[in-house]
Homo-oligomer: A and B are copies of this chain.
Amino acid sequence: MNVINDSPRRKELTRQAAQLFVQEGFDRTTVRMLAQEMGIKSGSLFHHFRDKQEILAAVIEEGTQNALVIARAALDQCDNSAEARLQAMARAHLETLLTDRNAHVVALYEWRRLDPEARAHLSHLRDAYEALWEAVIDEALAEGLIHGDRFLVSRFVMGALNWTVRWYDPAGPRSPDDLAHELVAMITHRPA
């Protein structure tokens, strides 16, 4: 019947859906609203996605996958000091949070709306991303740059970073780079 692959058209529709999901929330966004935003009728929407749930999964997958790619690239391009790597991860995290802001806000707020299968699939992606963080935290601990419990420190850092979507204003005076410096300085006690 319908197409479930990842055509370029589907990518674009996914991007527009993310926008609406952020504005209205997943449950309040109707398939008719989505269709209107996409410039088609509601019936046509089900040619691209099996159901409404699948649109949510597509949005979150897109954002998480991008975050992984960007973080890996950032780690490849910086030197081996734990401080530089910590900085690079923080900065990469904040940058995806901005460039793919819609997708990430949806991932943070609407994760629980995913059905079990989609959640299991996306959990793996997210775990892979968090593993990058824990590796970098481990290096910083080994070098004595920071101290404390590996698990707790990484959760605290992720929390501080993810929370930025609630207050950060890209039009304000602070760049993502500023934020990354300030955060690393806070936990390493070296001047920003």
Contact = CB atoms under 8 A, between A and B. Distances in A.
Q: Which of A148, A159, A162 has the most CB of B within 10 A?
A: A159
Contacts of A167: 155
A164 interface: yes
A75 to B, nearest CB: 22
Contacts of A149: 182
Interface in A116-131: none
B27 A28 contact: yes
Tell me whether chain A's interface is mostly helix, strand or loop, or mixed.
helix
B162 A163 contact: yes
Contacts of A174: 152
Interface in A152-169: 152-153, 155-164, 166-167
A147 B189 contact: yes
Interface of A: 25, 27-28, 109, 112-113, 146-149, 152-153, 155-164, 166-167, 174, 179, 182-183, 185-187, 189, 191-192
